[in-house]
């Protein structure tokens, strides 16, 4: 889950005085009684690489299509760069879209596809040729200028689609599953390229994706959507480390959730009586919670440590290994606790051949730090 963005990246969403490039207010889109987008309000700032993440049918594509102008909102407003575009047709919006299917014009060459939008806005021929050449260089497809889309590979088509959508220098580029049709290796390579292009041009990118890894790698911020609503809007790191809901915690990465009730709280220490572990869990949590409140404790598999002997301190559980998945870099172990709860933890495979590898039916003691886990109330 490496984030390719530079750490010095400024965070425009933290400066409230700046006018966001996209402002969505109470947006609703319903098809009869089905609400594809259900009361979403969201601000996206200039130069962001913003991801709309969610499972299929969560409404992310509908939201993107409303930004492009292909769907009319049932209610609510969309502002782009301060201008109300809610009822502006797509051909008059300062945005361009890269389609999931690429939607390249099959009867036009690569060049003509890229020049298409520029021709529509009446750009002079010489300037147009220059811009097209610039775009082809940007995505490295100069060699295929005269080819038709059906003579290109999937990866090349993807580049043409990107160049075509960028050619008009839109204020916002909308990308619908831009890497969805590529194979894994190419997808990983292209992720970095997309980020580089976005940083070079400074255009705001809004990406729809169902792939959480892709969203984590590329985005400045992620909006996680679930059943037409925003589950959480955050930076990739915050989204992963501090999910605000159970859904967010389990959608991004893997997580162990322990069900329980607040036992007591002292300063930032919170004790939770969990029926899943049969013991009290200690979590660092500064917001006050009422005693007896129903909560979940979330702990990521990689933050669970294997220890030799039980020490009797907090957050220790014992169990038996039931399943092992060897992934090469890490192994995932599924452990059954005495209460019947199954949890998972991962171990990096540091040695090529461990002398005493963990094996099935082995009893283990697991432990984690109070500040490695989070409390979820929703």
Partner 1 sequence: MKLLQRPVVTGRALIIGVPWLWLSIFFLLPFLFVLKISISEPILAQPPYMDLLREFSDGLMTIKINLGNYLLLLEDPLYFNALLGSIEVAALSTLFCVLLGYPMAYAIARAPDHMRLPLLMLIILPFWTSFLIRVYAWIGILKNNGLLNQALMWLGIIDSPLEILHTPVAVYIGIVYSYLPFFVLPLYATLVRMDLTLLEAAADLGCRPWKQFVLVTLPLSLPGLMAGAMLVFIPVMGEFVIPDLLGGPNTLMIGKLMWTEFFSNKDWPLASALAAILLIVLIIPFVIMRHYEQRNEEANS
- Which residues lie near partner 1 (CB under 8 A)? 68-70, 89-91, 95-97, 99, 101, 103-107, 116-117, 120-121, 150, 164-165, 168
Q: How far is the CB of 164 from partner 1 (least distance, A)?
A: 7
Kindly state the tokens that stand for 247. 């859904």
Q: Which is nearer to partner 1, 151 or 311 (CB)?
A: 151
The separation between CA 58 and the C-alpha centre of its own chain, rounded to angstroms, equals 13
Q: How far is the CB of 206 from partner 1 (least distance, A)?
A: 14
CA dist., res. 336 & res. 293, Å (int): 26
Q: How far is the CB of 112 from partner 1 (least distance, A)?
A: 10
CA dist., res. 213 & res. 206, Å (int): 16
Q: Which is nearer to partner 1, 136 or 366 (CB)?
A: 136
Residue 325 φ/ψ, nearest 5 degrees: -120, 115
Q: How far is the CB of 65 from partner 1 (least distance, A)?
A: 9
CA dist., res. 272 & res. 266, Å (int): 12
Q: How far is the CB of 160 from partner 1 (least distance, A)?
A: 12
Query: What is the side-by-side strand order in the sheet with 204-209?
Result: 95-98, 172-176, 204-209, 49-53, 221-226, 229-234
Q: Which is nearer to partner 1, 122 or 202 (CB)?
A: 122
**Whether the Cβ atoms of residue 81 and residue 36 lie closer than 8 Å to each other:** no
Q: Which is nearer to partner 1, 41 or 101 (CB)?
A: 101
Q: Which is nearer to partner 1, 117 or 178 (CB)?
A: 117
Q: Which is nearer to partner 1, 103 or 321 (CB)?
A: 103
Q: How far is the CB of 70 from partner 1 (least distance, A)?
A: 6
Q: How far is the CB of 55 from partner 1 (least distance, A)?
A: 22
Q: Which is nearer to partner 1, 201 or 289 (CB)?
A: 201
**Which residue from 44, 15, 48 is spatially nearest to 219, judged by alpha carbons?**
48
């Amino acid at each position: 889950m490496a984030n390719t963005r530079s750490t010095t990246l400024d965070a425009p969403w933290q400066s409230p005085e700046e006018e966001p490039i996209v402002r969505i207010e109470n947006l609703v889109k319903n098809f009869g009684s089905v609400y594809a987008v259900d009361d979403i309000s969201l601000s996206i700032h200039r130069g962001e690489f913003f991801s709309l993440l969610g499972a299929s049918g969560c409404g992310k594509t509908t939201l993107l299509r409303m930004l492009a102008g292909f769907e009319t909102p049932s209610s609510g407003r969309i502002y782009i760069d301060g201008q109300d575009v809610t009822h502006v047709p797509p051909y008059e919006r300062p945005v361009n879209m890269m389609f999931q299917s690429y939607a390249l014009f099959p009867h036009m060459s690569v060049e003509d596809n890229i020049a298409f939008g520029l021709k529509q806005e009446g750009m002079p021929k010489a300037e147009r040729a220059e811009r097209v050449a610039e775009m082809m260089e940007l995505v490295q497809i100069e060699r295929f200028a005269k080819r038709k889309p059906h003579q290109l590979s999937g990866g090349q088509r993807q580049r043409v689609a990107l160049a075509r959508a960028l050619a008009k220098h839109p204020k916002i580029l909308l990308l619908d599953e831009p890497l969805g049709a590529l194979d894994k290796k190419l997808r990983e390579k292209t992720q970095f390229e997309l980020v580089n292009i976005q940083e070079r041009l400074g255009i705001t990118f809004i990406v729809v994706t169902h792939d959480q890894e892709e969203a984590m790698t590329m985005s400045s911020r992620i909006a996680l959507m679930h059943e037409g609503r925003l589950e959480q809007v955050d930076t990739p790191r915050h989204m992963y480390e501090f999910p605000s809901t159970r859904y967010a915690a389990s959608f991004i990465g893997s997580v162990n959730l322990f069900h329980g009730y607040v036992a007591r709280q002292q300063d930032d220490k919170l004790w939770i009586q969990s029926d899943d572990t049969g013991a009290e869990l200690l979590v660092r949590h500064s917001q006050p919670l009422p005693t007896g409140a129903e909560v979940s404790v979330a702990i990521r598999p990689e933050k669970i440590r294997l220890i030799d002997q039980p020490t009797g301190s907090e957050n220790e559980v014992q169990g038996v290994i039931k399943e092992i998945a060897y992934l090469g870099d890490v192994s995932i172990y599924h452990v059954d606790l005495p209460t019947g709860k199954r949890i998972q933890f991962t171990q990096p495979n540091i040695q090529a051949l461990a002398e005493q590898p963990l094996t099935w039916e082995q009893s283990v003691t697991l432990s984690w730090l109070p500040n490695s886990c989070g409390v979820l109330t929703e």
